[in-house]
Amino acid sequence: MAYSELHAHSAYSFLDGASMPDELVAAAAEHGYRSLALTDHNSLSGSMEFAQAARAQGLRAIHGAEVDLANGRHIVLLVRDARGWSNLCRLLTLAHAHDRDVPSGTPPPTAVSLEQVREHADGLVCLTGCATRGVHDETTIRRLRDTFGPEALRVELQRPFLRDDRMRNRRLQRLAGRLGLACVATGNVHAHAASRAELQDALVAVRHHLTLEASEPLRRGNHSHVLASPAAMAQRFSDRPEAVAETARLADELCFDLGQDLGYRYPGAEDQTAMGRLAELCHTRLSERYPGPSPLASQAQTRLEQELRVIDHLGLGGFFLLHHDLLVLAREVALEVRGPDSARALLPPGRGRGSSVSSIVCYLTGLSHIDPIANDLLLGRFLNEELTALPDIDLDFPRDIREVLIPRIHERYGRERSALVAAFPTYRSRGAIRELGQALGLPPGDIERVARGADDFGVDVRRDIETALGADPAGPVAASLSDGAAPRPGRSRRWQWLVTLAAQARGLPRHLSQHPGGMIVSTRPLIECCPVIPAAMEGRQIAQWDKDSCSDAGFLKIDVLGLGMLSAVERCVETIAHTRRERIDLSRIPFDDPATFSAIQQADTVGVFQIESRAQMQSLRRTRPESLDDITVQVAIVRPGPIQGGAINPYIQRRQRLRENPDYPIPYPHPSLEPVLRDTLGTIIFQDQVLEVAQAFAGFSPGEAESLRRAMSRRRSAAAIERHRQRFEEGAQQHSGVDGPRAQEVWRMIEGFAGFGFPKAHSAAFGLLAYQSTWLRVHYGPEFLAALLNEQPMGFYPPDSLLHEASRRGLALGRVDVNASELECSVQSDPAAPDGLRVRIGLGYIGGIRRQEVEALVDARREGGPFVSTADLASRSGMSRPGLERLAWSGACDALPGGRSGVNGARRAAVWELGVAGAGAPGGSPGARSTQLSLGLDVPSAPALRELDRWERLVADYASTGVTVDDHALTILRPHLPGVLRASELEHHPHGMPVSVAGIAVARQRPATARGVVFLLIEDETGTVNIVVGPELYERERRLVRAEPLLVVSGRLERPAAGGGTISVLAQTLRAVALPTRSSAQVHELAQRSPDVEAQASDLRAVAPPAQSFAAGRRR
Amino acid sequence: MVRTDRRGQPLMVRGQAIEAVRESWLVQDRWWTEHPLSRRYWELVSIAGADLVVFHDLHGGGWFIQR
């Protein structure tokens, strides 16, 4: 009997579905279904993915959603036609409208009223919902019948194998008969196969923050919610064959195809005057940008005409004008945010990135800051006549401008017509281990150990458990590890399930989040094309589709990205104006500054944009960039494409040869490639060179070349790549007259590159910022450091490491101080400092104190002068007792005059005194506000307290601020590390020598291109050392590598002659540094007063600043 | 104790013929423990009019009378 499943959930029901849409589609096709409905819970997030997968499998996709009603019941709404789709989108938008209304702490449930359903019923078919939470009362079903009519309402029968199935279905069938409604059978599917049924159970537990045991009443009780075959469903409903037959009849009526035109148009898409206006704008700017007759002006004129022709051909005039309008809006916002008199006012509101930087139209309309003619940037990758999708224009903004700009875009285009693009964070190893481990009731400590040691991108959770717990998770040893006592058999099965469930959960979307910057604007209300929901950040809203779904729907995505380094350089410029009364226009700084290039060539680049990483530094010493063009290449070089394509070593070697012999002839695989690969010395480093090589060498058209690039980069279809290879090799033989082996050699260069690289235009844009940030660092070190510290998180190095490095460079640093620090880090005049300037850590760096409290303290100091004692501080600052204790423990009160201040005992004394002075709310929770003393009453002197030693102060610094500006941990530990070399000593030892080094882990990287090798960067009191950990050692010592903050590494010194001074240690053994033991009655006394103090008194492992991890991704 | 048809539906329980099946349900739980539960329950009416609840242990096999 024909059966169509009309009620199925995917993982896009977020923790209420255990399969992806394509898995459901594949299973349905295998079972012989002709159609399938996806009805995720209050969501259409998976609908486009479902439509695409179904089309590929020849299955008819039916779209719908399970929707919550205000009375707590569920209905299923299925889309009959385009009107129904827009109504469902509107309804779901309404359902989520109050998701972020949290005046009372709990938002109202996501739901729509029956009245709202009635207003949007057109084009929809309603099913009465599931067995447990569907609409089963006659009154409501009558209202639904009045709304949808009997032809568009079905009473839904389910057989979830619960105890009341027959009674419920009999009752519903009688009710349907009375109301003249047809019944329809559904499976309420939550998994595509029986193997995922347990995961569905576990996800329910995760959703409710419960264990599996505790979530029993909320789970389904059995595994009948798995997609069954039509025959099995007919069997399940053998007593109600008409309800089964009705599924197929109804499915045939639901003809809406999501592939059809949804009516989306971006503003200006159909504006007939757009092209003329764009051309006029560009021509006006052309004469400003390229004044007078010159070869450059002539080239620019030709290029502009060429681009305008392509834009006209593609009908994209409105597209560019829309982006230009956005930039005008950004300019207004920037003026507001920066203020008219700010030094930042000289800077443009944002900058272009990506391939659009190659466009002269973008340059002239302000969408790019890079001159494509002077920089020899080719257009093809961004815009060509064969383009079938909308091109991408990405814009970077300082974070503060972007924050205001996004809601302003909503206002400009209308809240119904604009939204951010969604992103769906997916389960990776660590999250899956933590959440599923909790659901399984595993010991929290063990879960955390396993999670911390896990490779987040890895797939072998069994191995993670073995590594963390030291044994086979299925074995009795692992079972006993949790308790350190006798084996407990009950545990081992749970660990086994964790292995299975974590592997299954991997890649499933967990929740809906916000894309880093993608925005959609529309002429038609967007909420009729896709549901739009409020974002966590006030004033923002998100479409339920991610960038791929938006792209498949033909939506124009505008990328409004936040770039931390842009914010940092703007802050820096502003601070320089204050500290030195100099106004800096970064577009007019010298771009051939010897001091800046000297720093770059010596890899003295910690903290600057792009060229600061461990790998970049190693490369810089060998490539020794001498111009902005060289930096453009440098920015692109440490990318998977050039690495896998084998471009790096040839490029570096050829640069070195050229330095030695300027007449060195660069080898090219074929003369036709010389113009294409000249800038990169015969290697492929830029993404667009793939296109250019294909065109110059194999005669590809621009569209064919772009198709090749896409095949390689986006969805690596083996069949598509093979077609391109054949075409390339044949083309090379015909076009360039080469033989097969030579054609294959060039193909291998392209194939190795595989598209994962920067376009040259993007590199030029980023290279410029890399240079500008280096220039600021070289000439305005204190201001640049303060800017970096205030824009965290960003970059490769944690703040603590930035401070240590700055200290080694001779910059003067100041610790947090209630009488000197501002909220943020600041640059202060200090005649004693080398530059006359000192970077002062801001009070905002102290964890656990609310920003408002710190602001109030700073205001009180401004109004009433410096605090003269702890009692004065407690009285005037308005800070709660926990806040005061944190201030004291961070050392911010060390320099308070009077009493015992100024000596090492000051910190303990201040904690004691402030505990007394701020005693209004004893034991108050962090953030709790106590009643303050209104008068600066004297507080009793602290009893004789033992001084904090250097190590204790270090631990207290890390525990309170995450940074220290005093002793480096290794300075203190050095006497305990006999035979261990300092980083600065390594350059005096020969290549290949066995050495031992120690340091605090600053960064860990495990690049996919490195075949299991892990790169560690450790830091001691003299500098950083690169540690190379081979795959075997990594597997053996994974916990140390991944989680240990202080390491001793023994291995072989790598200092090859060709390395340009690059030094690393190839690790052979690793061990944790033995930390000084801490025990003191007075410490325990303090510990009793505040849990945080207890943490501070424990060892460094608990408080060490986390190393930057490759798996965590880098923020720019 | 329980005789079933080919699809597993009870026909006789303790020698009593079954007149009707009132309900059948499934319990699959505690799969993460050492004692997973997988039972198919049947609420039956015997030919003598008695209301019986039996279950088939789908893991360990065997039939059990609940009521």
| A314-373 pLDDT tens trace | 999 999 999 999 999 999 999 999 888 888 887 888 889 888 999 999 999 999 999 999
CB atoms within 10 A of CB A372: 27
pLDDT at A318: 95
User: Alpha-carbon distance A515 to A549, whole Å?
Assistant: 13
Cross-strand pairs, A193? none
Question: Do the Cβ atoms of B32 and A224 come within 8 Å?
Answer: no
User: Is the pLDDT confidence value at A954 over 50?
Assistant: yes
User: Alpha-carbon distance A1001 to A614, whole Å?
Assistant: 13
The mean pLDDT of A675-702, rounded to a whole number, is 92
HSE at residue A634, side-chain half, CA atoms within 13 A, is: 34
Assign 3-state DSSP to chain B and report helix, strand, coil percentages, each to 5: 0, 60, 40
Give which of A351, A373, A360, A356 is closest to A282, Cα–Cα: A360
pLDDT at A933: 44
pLDDT at A1109: 64
User: Is the pLDDT confidence value at A1016 over 70?
Assistant: yes
- Chain B residues closer than 8 Å to A224 by CB: 26
Residue A956 CB partners (closer than 8 Å, separation 6+): A889, A890, A891, A907, A948, A1096
Residue A283 CB partners (closer than 8 Å, separation 6+): A304
User: Alpha-carbon distance A883 to A91, whole Å?
Assistant: 46
Question: Do the Cβ atoms of B23 and A161 come within 8 Å?
Answer: no
pLDDT at A899: 46
The mean pLDDT of A623-634, rounded to a whole number, is 95
For residue A499, what is the nearest residue in chain B, using CA coordinates?
B32
Question: Do the Cβ atoms of B23 and A440 come within 8 Å?
Answer: no
DSSP sequence for A388-427: -SPPP-EEEE-HHHHHHHHHHHHHHH-TTSEEEEEE--B-
Shortest distance, CA B47 to any CA of chain A (angstroms): 20
Give the range among A441-450, A625-634, A659-668 with minimum mean pLDDT: A441-450
pLDDT at A834: 84
State whether the Cα torsion A942-A944-A950-A955 is positive or negative: negative
Burial group, residue A97, by CB count within 10 angstroms (0-12, 13-18, 19+):
middle
Per-residue pLDDT band at A928 (split at 50, 70, 90) = very low
A833's tokens: 């400092």
pLDDT at A152: 98
Q: Supply the ipTM of this predicted assembly.
A: 0.95
Prediction pTM value: 0.84
Q: Which amino acid is at B12?
A: M
Q: Using an 8 Å CB-CB cutoff, list residues of chain A that contact chain B.
A: 161-167, 197-198, 201-202, 212, 216, 219, 221-224, 440, 489-490, 493-494, 497
The mean pLDDT of A181-199, rounded to a whole number, is 97
pLDDT at A898: 58
Give which of A968, A989, A967 is closest to A979, Cα–Cα: A989
Query: Which among A161, A201, A219 has CB closest to B26?
Result: A161
Shortest distance, CA A68 to any CA of chain B (angstroms): 27
Shortest distance, CA A764 to any CA of chain B (angstroms): 55
Give which of A50, A49, A45, A74 is closest to A62, Cα–Cα: A50
Mean pLDDT of chain A: 88
Residue with structure tokens 């389904």? Answer: A220
A564's tokens: 């931390």
In the sheet with A74-79, reading across from the earlier edge strand, the strands are: A35-41, A60-68, A74-79, A124-127, A153-158, A182-186
3-class DSSP state of A337: helix
Q: Which of B24, B32, B53 to mutate to test the interface with A (most CBs of A within 10 A)?
A: B32
3-class DSSP state of A665: coil
3-class DSSP state of A456: coil
pLDDT at A755: 58
- Chain A residues closer than 8 Å to B56 by CB: none
Residue A587 CB partners (closer than 8 Å, separation 6+): A369
The mean pLDDT of A118-143, rounded to a whole number, is 97
Q: What is the pLDDT of residues A199-241, one digit of tens each?
A: 999 999 999 999 999 999 999 999 999 999 999 999 999 999 9
User: Alpha-carbon distance A158 to A167, whole Å?
Assistant: 11
Shortest distance, CA B66 to any CA of chain A (angstroms): 14
HSE at residue A892, side-chain half, CA atoms within 13 A, is: 35
Classify the phi-psi angles of A33: left when phi > 0, otherwise alpha if psi is within -120 to 50, otherwise beta. Answer: beta
User: Is the pLDDT confidence value at A1033 over 90?
Assistant: yes
Decide if A145 contacts A181 (C-beta within 8 A): yes
Per-residue pLDDT band at A1076 (split at 50, 70, 90) = low
- Chain A residues closer than 8 Å to B43 by CB: 163
User: Is the pLDDT confidence value at A408 over 90?
Assistant: yes
pLDDT at A51: 96
% of chain A beyond a pLDDT of 70? 90
Give which of A383, A187, A364 is closest to A286, Cα–Cα: A364
- Chain B residues closer than 8 Å to A489 by CB: 34
pLDDT at A452: 80
Give the range among A9-13, A116-120, A449-453, A1081-1085 with minimum mean pLDDT: A1081-1085
pLDDT at A457: 64
pLDDT at A595: 98
Per-residue pLDDT band at A455 (split at 50, 70, 90) = confident
User: Alpha-carbon distance B63 to B10, whole Å?
Assistant: 10
Q: Which of A159, A161, A237, A495 to mutate to test the interface with B (most CBs of B within 10 A)?
A: A161
Per-residue pLDDT band at A476 (split at 50, 70, 90) = very low
Cβ contacts from A onto B, under 8 A: 45
User: Alpha-carbon distance B51 to A347, whole Å?
Assistant: 84
Shortest distance, CA A479 to any CA of chain B (angstroms): 12
Q: Using an 8 Å CB-CB cutoff, list residues of chain B that contact chain A.
A: 22-29, 31-34, 41, 43
Q: What is the pLDDT of residues A368-383, one digit of tens each?
A: 999 999 988 887 778 8
Decide if A1049 contacts A1018 (C-beta within 8 A): yes
Shortest distance, CA A178 to any CA of chain B (angstroms): 24
% of chain A beyond a pLDDT of 90? 69
Question: Do the Cβ atoms of A222 and B23 come within 8 Å?
Answer: no
Give the range among A44-58, A99-113, A534-548, B20-34 with minimum mean pLDDT: A99-113
pLDDT at A1086: 32
**Cα–Cα distance list, A708 to A359, A384, A674 (Å):** 21, 14, 21
